[in-house]
Amino acid sequence: MLNIRLEGKLPIYEQLYNGIARLVSSGELVPDEKLPAVREVAKQFGINPNTVQKAYVQLEQSGLIYSIPAKGSYVSPEKAAADAVKGEALRKTEQELRSACRAGIGLDEIISLAESIWSEGRNGDTI
């Protein structure tokens, strides 16, 4: 089962997409691993199956998963897809760091925030 939290300002399908993308790029979901069925995920999180389907479609379009009709969805064996997710995250991080620097946020504040986020991830909390 997936262990992600669906909360915050982002639409639920984007949160689901981001959560699964993170699991793929971190290696927690391995190539050719079967993902839970759309209805199973919808039931687990108490959300509409169409929302889950929308996230799965986006994951497939980005190359992170593939679907086999009547069989289900699986993690793509392509390492390049997971690397693309990491590359995009780094690009966005760079943009935000530059913005933070221009806003006068100090390096020590950024390091403290990063350490806090990584600490949450190591403790098994969902990022």
Architecture of domain 1-127: Orthogonal Bundle (1.10)
User: What span, in angstroms and rounded, lies between the C-alpha atoms of 26 and 36?
Assistant: 18
For residue 82, pLDDT beyond 80: no
What pLDDT, in 10s, does the model give residues 49-73?
999 999 999 999 888 899 999 999 9
Split at pLDDT 50, 70, 90, the class of 78 is: confident
More confident residue, 3 or 125: 3
User: Is residue 51 classed exposed, middle or buried when 0-12, 13-18 and 19+ CB atoms within 10 A define those classes?
Assistant: buried
Is residue 123 within a helix (H) or strand (E), and if so which, with residue range? none
For residue 2, pLDDT beyond 70: no
What pLDDT, in 10s, does the model give residues 11-46?
899 889 988 988 888 888 889 999 999 999 999 999
**Alpha helices (H) in 28-123, listed in sequence order:** 38-45, 49-61, 79-102, 107-122
Residue matched to tokens 């959300």: 47
Give the pLDDT of residue 50.
97
Q: What is the pTM of this model?
A: 0.66
What pLDDT, in 10s, does the model give residues 84-122?
777 778 888 999 999 999 999 999 999 999 999 888 865
